[in-house]
């Protein structure tokens, strides 16, 4: 189990990057003009990163109870899944959702 924790944290970081990429892709796809595409492609992941940094990251600036933290975390990942589905990338959305759920199961097992 000593190796499982670092692997889980690495997977978590990669999943976080996938969320930001998915939101950026979504933003680009929903924009009608180049300025809107750029604004949405940069704004959506930036907003998500701010929320993550404030409430969920290991160095979160605002401490919230565990249940609230989990709700924010699930909403963070669900936003990327829904964003991918909304732009016709259901397979990527499913892959992200499955890997996230497996990660949470692994994290639960490692933390026990």
Encode pLDDT of 62-79 as tens digits. 999 999 999 999 999 999
User: How would you label 30-50 residue by residue, b for 16+ Cβ within 10 Å and e otherwise?
Assistant: eeeeeeeeeebbeebbeebbe
Count: domains in the chain = 1
Domain that holds residue 58: 4-111
Tell me the helix, strand and coil percentages in the chain, rounded to 5.
80, 0, 20
Give just the sign of the alpha carbon dihedral 15, 17, 19, 21.
negative
**pLDDT tens digits, residue range 15-57?**
999 999 999 999 999 999 999 999 999 999 999 999 999 999 9
- Rounded to two decimals, what is the model's pTM? 0.91
């Amino acid at each position: 189990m000593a190796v499982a924790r670092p692997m889980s944290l690495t997977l978590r970081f990669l999943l976080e990057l996938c969320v930001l990429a998915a939101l950026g892709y979504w933003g680009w796809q929903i924009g009608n003009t180049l300025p809107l595409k750029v604004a949405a492609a940069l704004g959506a992941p930036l907003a998500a990163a701010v929320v993550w940094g404030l409430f969920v990251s290991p160095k979160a600036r605002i401490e919230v109870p565990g249940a609230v933290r989990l709700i924010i975390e699930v909403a963070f990942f669900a936003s990327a899944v829904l964003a991918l589905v909304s732009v016709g990338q259901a397979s990527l959305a499913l892959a992200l959702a499955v890997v996230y759920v497996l990660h949470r199961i692994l994290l639960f097992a490692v933390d026990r």
